[in-house]
Amino acid sequence: MIVRPRPNAIALLFIIRGSVVPRVLPHLLVLGAFAFLVVKLHDSNWIVLPEFSIAPFALLGIALSIFLGFRNNAAYDRWWEARKQWGEMVYEIRSLARSSETLLDLQAEHSDAGPLRRRLLEWCAAHCHALRASLRQESGQAELETWLGKEDAAHTLKHTNHADYCLRRAGRIIGSLYRQGHIDAMGLRILDEHLTRLAAVQSSCERIATTPLPFAYTLLTHRTAYIYCYLLPFALVPAIGAYAVLFTMVVAYTFFGLDVLSQELEGPFGREANDLPLDALCRVNEISIAESLGQQPPPLLQPVKNRLT
């Protein structure tokens, strides 16, 4: 995700990092060359383009911009819902750390409540990394080994759903705390509810990741935008001549950019410039857990070249 102070109006015109320019520039250059070819063919009378009103193109452009706006809003809703779910995860892990500290007698001698609580929070930290790795289709082995050790990490990776297994192991620890008398039935319910809500967050994220916008919807906007932009020079060249190249590329930048931006926001869990900073959110959870356990917390992740991953 791009994190930077808002630049002034002039600087905004030249910013490349975080914009869609690198992705649409090849298409713009091809379209510009096509528009230039139409200009030359018209000027040399190889083709004769009649002068007619561009009102139909204006109406189609307005309709297309509204349609692309609706798709962009739908993609942004997915991005924002994903961010809210990860914010809920941060809240639940902090609440679990606080509730477990409140309910357990951590000062009693010869009690294993402290080690069990530590292990509970370690499995929750592993759950965050396992879910992040699953959503990004990465391994996550190094982070799991950091929190679980090599043996438990290797056993976790043998399961199909690594994040769900981490929650099951955390649930076993809560069960052990109850059976050993460290918490009563009410304490069991309080701690288990936090795991239940973490499971709900995981389910919501998996739903977003595995259910893209309908393909026909995406295909329709994509095709219409390209057809419109490649037909536009034929309407503009008779009226404004060579300036049609410039105006065609400006219009195409808007439509192609909205199309590409919607594709990025539709899948918010990747590593593109505008995707969610899951590494940084996992670090926030690690800091909360480390401070709750009385350990030295790791530093917050900082943006690198205005980009937070």
List b or e across 5-28, with b for residues whose CB sees 16 or more CB atoms inside 10 angstroms. eeeeeeeeeeeeebbbeebbeebb
Crossing angle for the helix pair 113-135 and 162-179, to the nearest 10 degrees: 170
- pTM for the model stands at 0.89
> What's the pLDDT at 309?
86
Query: Residue 268: pLDDT band by 50, 70, 90 thresholds?
Result: very high
The H or E element that residue 194 is part of is helix 185-210
- According to the per-residue pLDDT averaged within each range, which of 124-128, 249-253, 254-258 is highest? 124-128
Asked if 48 contacts 261 with a C-beta cutoff of 8 angstroms, the reply is no
Q: What are the distances in angstroms from CA 32 to CA 14, 54, 247, 249, 250?
A: 20, 19, 10, 6, 10
Least confident of 16-25, 34-43, 137-146, 258-267: 16-25
- Cα-based angle 189, 124, 112 (whole degrees, multiple of 5): 70
How does pLDDT run across 44-71, given as a tens digit for each residue?
Answer: 877 777 776 677 778 888 888 888 888 8
How does pLDDT run across 149-197, given as a tens digit for each residue?
Answer: 999 999 999 999 999 999 999 999 999 999 999 999 999 999 999 999 9
**Any bridge partners for residue 304, and if so which?**
307
> What's the pLDDT at 13?
67
Least confident of 9-18, 22-31, 132-141, 251-260: 9-18
Longest dimension (CA), the chain: 96
Mean pLDDT of 80-84: 96
Rounded to a whole number of angstroms, the CA Rg of the chain reads 27
Asked if 97 contacts 289 with a C-beta cutoff of 8 angstroms, the reply is yes
